Amino acid sequence: MILKTSLLLAFALALSAVAAERPPALSPARTMAEAGMVDVRTLSSGLAEDMKYAGTDNFTGAAVDGYRSPKFFLIMHAAEALARVEAALHGQGYALRVWDCYRPARAVAAFVRWASDLSDTSTKAAHYPNLGKDALLGEYIAPVSGHSRGATVDLTLMHCASGRCEPLDMGTGFDFFDPLAHTADPRITAAQKANRERLLKAMAAEGFTNYPQEWWHFSLPAATPPVIYDVPVE
């Protein structure tokens, strides 16, 4: 009886593991409206943007499939929460600069193709100087991204004075594939640590959680849908 119970338990755990690894379903939505997405700038005009994947200044070195315009979208609840973060920071003399929000599934597939091409190392110096490109797939570039659910954002913090806003020193740039980009990496300076913690605190106030391996990456679990989307950004 004990053996039978143990086998049943092992089988149940195996099924749970398979279910946990199963990728989310692809939504049939074909427009931003159908996906429930909103242009974040319509809710917060103070947000600055530098949408990396719509241009060539990113780790692939080229505009990424799915980004037809440098706009940034999130599902409504996440967009509203981000707008509240921006408003609170504005009152403290700070602002946000957004690098990426909703990411079409086709863009994630383009990342995987890029990572699989080991002959192209043109962006190594800027984005992965201490790693071989063969180390990026899986650890840093996954076949499914939370960004495709519409409740994840990549951003940094700026200090504003005399009408100008300048990015704070966070210790690394965006999409720097290295442990130094881990939010709590012990090698960063006291000032860089304080800057990361200020961003963490501001985002956490509205329910965003940080991905510990990337100081710039935040998701809103309470608003994250169970599906991924592939609507182009345009």
Asked if 207 and 221 count as a contact pair (C-beta separation under 8 A), the reply is: yes
DSSP secondary-structure letter at 222?
A: G
Q: How far is CA 45 from CA 87, 95, 135, 196, in A?
A: 10, 11, 39, 23
Asked if 136 and 177 count as a contact pair (C-beta separation under 8 A), the reply is: yes
Does residue 214 have an active-site annotation? yes
The contacts of residue 163 (CB under 8 Å, 6+ apart) are none
| Active-site choice (49, 206, 214, 234) | 214
172's tokens: 């690394």
d(CA 191, CA 170): 8
d(CA 178, CA 200): 20
Angle of CA points 105, 106, 112, to nearest 5°: 95
d(CA 116, CA 122): 14
Parallel, antiparallel, or unpaired for β 25-26 and 227-228? parallel
d(CA 70, CA 41): 11
Catalytic residues: 214
